[in-house]
Amino acid sequence: MMSNENPNFANEKRRNVETAERTADGRYKRKVRSFTLRTGRFSDLQRKMMTDHWGDYGLDFDGKMWDFAEIFGNNNPVVLEIGFGMGKSLVEMAKANPETNYLGIEVHTPGVGACIATAVAENVQNLRICCHDAVEVLAQCIPNDTLSGLQLFFPDPWHKARHHKRRIVQPAFLDLLLPKLQTGGFIHFATDWQNYAEHMLDVLNQTANIKNTSATNDYIPRPDFRPLTKFEARGHRLGHGVWDLYFRKEA
């Protein structure tokens, strides 16, 4: 595989959840974000994988619309996963479904390095990764009617009530996402926080042109195609619940 110059992730500064911006008249305003961009500590392996293989797997945020046929070299369906953590389950899904292209977005840079390391070890070719704000990527880089699905597994629950506005699943997020999905495209959320599950369900139920696939019109059992993560398995041992939501876009 060919490789390109790696972005300087190691020197990237940590951002606050709320970043300062200016209004049209020059006053500062606060923009609520659903995440904190974390550089963390790179292992030697993660750093090497980023350096040697970013050109194979990495997509730089440039504010321009991406051409997935050019990026992946085919016209296979594209599934977007936001917040893949260390990337093990994302690579597992990509390896199990070579006829589907996977795009992962993650702001934890050691996780990006770990994901690339796993993809290289498993020789996975149908995966690309971006280290940037998913909302900005959706708005500026992903054309309408190009995604066959969106996966969001165990996002930050922002469990304190005063922080609920920072949860990524909000009506505005669904309004941004829906045009990117093709007809029949899926939305798959999973969380181990019941309050967040109820919030997700409420937001989805208020969104037009999508249909819940649950037989009980709420949650589905964990599907076999969603890998069981170490985090989730530990939660099961401790008696924690997990809620999966699976909706499809209608015409």
Residue of 116, 202, 117, 118 lying closest to 167 (CA atoms): 202
- 249: which DSSP letter? E
Angstrom distances, CA of residue 234 to CA of 237, 238, 242, 245: 5, 6, 12, 21
In the set 156, 175, 192, 244, the catalytic residue is 156
Contact 182, 188 (CB under 8 A): no
Alpha carbon distance 132, 136 (integer Å):
8
Residue 96's H or E segment, with its range, is helix 88-96
Residue of 72, 86, 12 lying closest to 43 (CA atoms): 86
For residue 55, the SS3 value is helix
Alpha carbon distance 123, 104 (integer Å):
16
| Sheet bearing 210-212, strands edge to edge | 127-130, 101-105, 78-82, 147-153, 181-191, 243-249, 210-212
- Establish whether 133 is a catalytic residue: no
- Residues that are catalytic: 156
